[in-house]
Amino acid sequence: MILTLFIYFSSPQSPTARSVVSSRFSSKQMALESAKRSLEAAAEEILPTPALDALPSKFYDAFVLRGLRVDLVEPGHLLCSMTVPPRLLNMGNFLHGGATASLVDLVGSAAFYTAGAQSRGVPMEIGISYLDAAFANEEIEIEAKILRAGRAVGVVKVELRKKKTRKILANARYTKYLAPSSNL
């Protein structure tokens, strides 16, 4: 298709094709601008930028983790549970994918600590398969198991599931660079 468009553009006999392609590009550009404006407007309605800048750096961690219970801690294994709070719901009234990703990041990182990993690190890759939805006030479990914890890189599997039915909500594989501690 791109090659065909290029040929039409190269052809001086095809002004109609040029205008069709041009109008498609301009309508796509308008759609992009519309999406941008609606996202910016929604963000400003929730909390103005100066208010966001005033929040402590760990605000989001606390926002997501408030209400989380640690049910089991073993070396390389962590099991947590929580009741899905309304603050973590998306527009469809189920657990937001970003909140799920944050839970994977935070609980996955904590699993590395259970194996004696350093307290610092940087996520390298997070792959999440979203399989089902969790709704407000539903009990969920977040289980993290270390697959590998090397000196520099660690990999953990994180599973979110409904506590009552054990139905899987999301499966994740989280790779993290485990920064070595400084000798200073």
Residue-wise pLDDT tens for the chain (184 aa)? 333 333 333 444 444 444 444 445 566 566 566 555 655 554 455 445 555 455 555 666 777 888 888 998 989 899 999 999 999 999 999 999 999 999 999 899 888 888 887 657 889 999 999 999 999 999 999 999 999 988 889 999 999 999 999 999 999 999 999 877 666 6
Q: How many Å apart are CA 108 and CA 183, to the nearest integer?
A: 26
Q: How many Å apart are CA 97 and CA 130, to the nearest integer?
A: 8
Q: How many Å apart are CA 109 and CA 129, to the nearest integer?
A: 18
- For residue 82, give both structure tokens: 């929580």
Question: For 109, how many CA atoms within 13 A lie in the half-sphere containing its CB?
Answer: 18
CB 151 within 8 A of CB 122: no
Q: Is 63 exposed, middle or buried (0-12, 13-18, 19+ CB in 10 A)?
A: middle
β-pair partners for 136: none
CB 52 within 8 A of CB 45: no
